[in-house]
Copies of this chain bind each other. A is one copy, B any other.
Amino acid sequence: MNPNRRFKDEIYDQFSRIGKAVSSPKRLELLDILCQGERTVENLANETSLTIANTSQHLQVLKNSRLVEQEKKGLYVVYRPAPMVCEFFLSMRKVAENRIAEIEQIKNRFLEGKKGMESIDRDALIKRIQKEEVTILDVRPPEEFRAGHIKGAVSVPLKELGLMLTKLPKNKEIVAYCRGPYCVLSVEAVQLLNEKGYHAVRLEEGVQDWRAMGLPVASGE
């Protein structure tokens, strides 16, 4: 075969390694979670309802295409996204949201089931922050809050929301967020809060989106 053709084929073969890595829904889910912070295999398996062996296998596909890195910490193996990968994931999500009409439909159908659920986006939240007082709630697990959160947000993991209710102000509006537009933690949080008489709304964006917009993100406690 002519050497130019060979060269091209080799190059596109390499490019396709990235594509193959993100061609499986389960691997996308794993990547999405990893972009919130590093995780062990067991941890990822629990969140995705995959078996441990299957999770490990998917993680190795991601590792072989260089989208994640792994580090052994004692008895555990911790995985984290490689640099640039989360930006790439966001860019892929953006194309999907803009081009695939089914995504909007699936989201609407899901949210219709949750009556009274109000979602706001980044712009609307920024306006409210300036105009009136709002409490921003990060309802993800505490490790994810520590790894990075919207500046000014308070960590109230969904699991502890029930216990923390009394500490929240009833007169202020509450904005809850989690991992992004397709994460349901904030959906459940807002439902619970509204049932209990608070005025809560859901922020669509996650920390990654917030950061990508150039908005302030903090980490640690």
Q: Which residues of A contact B (CB under 8 A)?
A: 3-5, 7-26, 28-29, 32, 49, 65-67, 82-85, 87-88, 91-96, 98-100, 102-103, 106-107, 110, 113, 182, 184, 188
Contacts and interface: CB of A to CB of B under 8 A. Distances in A.
Nearest to A5: B49
A91 B88 contact: yes
A96 B113 CA distance: 40
26 contacts: A7-B182, A8-B184, A9-B25, A11-B182, A12-B28, A12-B29, A14-B103, A15-B92, A15-B96, A16-B28, A17-B96, A17-B100, A18-B92, A18-B95, A18-B96, A18-B99, A19-B19, A19-B24, A19-B92, A22-B22, A67-B99, A83-B98, A84-B98, A84-B99, A87-B91, A88-B94
Nearest to A110: B7
A12 B93 CA distance: 10
A28 to B, nearest CB: 5
Nearest to A103: B14
A208 to B, nearest CB: 14
Contact of A100 (B14, B29, B83, B102): B14
Given A19-B19, A84-B99, A99-B66, A184 B12 contact: no
B17 A20 contact: no
Contact of A4 (B7, B17, B184): B184
Contacts of A23: 16, 19-20, 22-23
Contact of A3 (B15, B20, B25, B113): B113
Nearest to A11: B182
A28 B7 contact: no
A98 B67 CA distance: 11
B102 A14 contact: yes
